[in-house]
């Protein structure tokens, strides 16, 4: 096994063939071990990330090209955009209420690289393409109206809200407190509570209904 890291070490030893210097010093051994451990950690992180990306892709895949609000709210798969969604229309003042809610989904310093339009984490371009200035969101977002509408419907539907309350051990007295919670600091290693909510729905509610 000859890596660029240990090659200089070997040639160094080659110049000093004495009994004492043929052994690596403790510092050298430690350095090599630390390098190895750091490489392993990096690989683990990448493996973990791609597993997560796979799971999120699978979850999002349930909603490709179909209205998230109607799938959650009515169990039907239709292709209209969120602005024409009858499910959203039937809640409060319709699209206005939804739009007002959506505008409160604001990311803070606790969040890293999440698309502020569709709420999908970027994951080093594995899940969401990088935004290019002036680009239309439809060309960058594969699921433009999925994560938000799903979380919105979870709160609006009493049964789902109840299940989510139990799962996340939260009360959320109002839509506002729910929204604040969605945007609050995520758990270590998580992207956002909004994404946690979406993933919980896909892996627990959606899967159990199939």
Binding footprint of Zn ion on the chain (CB under 5 A): 67, 69-70, 85, 87, 115, 117-118, 141
Look-up of token digits 């984490």 = 121
CA distances from 202 to 39, 126, 142, 181 (A): 34, 20, 17, 19
Minimum separation from the CB atom of position 158 to Zn ion (A) = 19
- Which of 24, 129 has the CB closer to Zn ion? 129
- Which of 6, 117 has the CB closer to Zn ion? 117
CB atoms within 10 A of CB 7: 10
Structure tokens at 189: 């290693």
Contacts of 75-84 spanning 24+ positions with Cβ under 8 A: 75/209, 81/145, 82/145, 82/149
- Which of 75, 189 has the CB closer to Zn ion? 75
Minimum separation from the CB atom of position 120 to Zn ion (A) = 5
Minimum separation from the CB atom of position 80 to Zn ion (A) = 6
Beta bridge partners of 114: 121
Minimum separation from the CB atom of position 96 to Zn ion (A) = 16
- Which of 13, 123 has the CB closer to Zn ion? 123
Contacts of 187 (CB under 8 A, 6+ apart): 196
């Amino acid at each position: 096994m000859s890596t660029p890291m240990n090659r200089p070490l070997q040639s160094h030893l080659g110049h000093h063939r004495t009994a004492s210097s043929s052994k690596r010093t403790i510092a050298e051994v430690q350095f090599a071990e630390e390098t190895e451990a750091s490489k392993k950690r990096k690989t683990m992180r990448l493996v973990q990330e791609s597993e997560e990306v796979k799971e999120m892709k699978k979850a999002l895949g349930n909603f490709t090209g179909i209205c998230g609000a109607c799938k959650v709210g009515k169990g039907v798969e239709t292709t209209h955009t969120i602005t024409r969604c009858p499910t959203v229309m039937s809640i409060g003042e319709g699209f206005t209420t939804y739009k007002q809610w959506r505008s409160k989904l604001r990311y803070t310093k606790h969040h890293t690289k999440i698309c502020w339009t569709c709420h999908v984490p970027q994951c080093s371009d594995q899940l969401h393409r990088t935004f290019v200035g002036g680009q239309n969101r439809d060309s960058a977002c594969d699921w433009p109206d999925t994560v938000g509408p799903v979380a919105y419907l979870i709160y609006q539907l009493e049964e789902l809200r109840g299940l989510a309350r139990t799962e996340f051990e939260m009360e959320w007295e109002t839509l506002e407190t729910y929204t604040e919670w969605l945007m609050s600091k995520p758990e270590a290693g998580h992207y956002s509570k909004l994404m946690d909510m979406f993933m919980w729905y896909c892996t627990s509610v959606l899967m159990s209904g199939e």
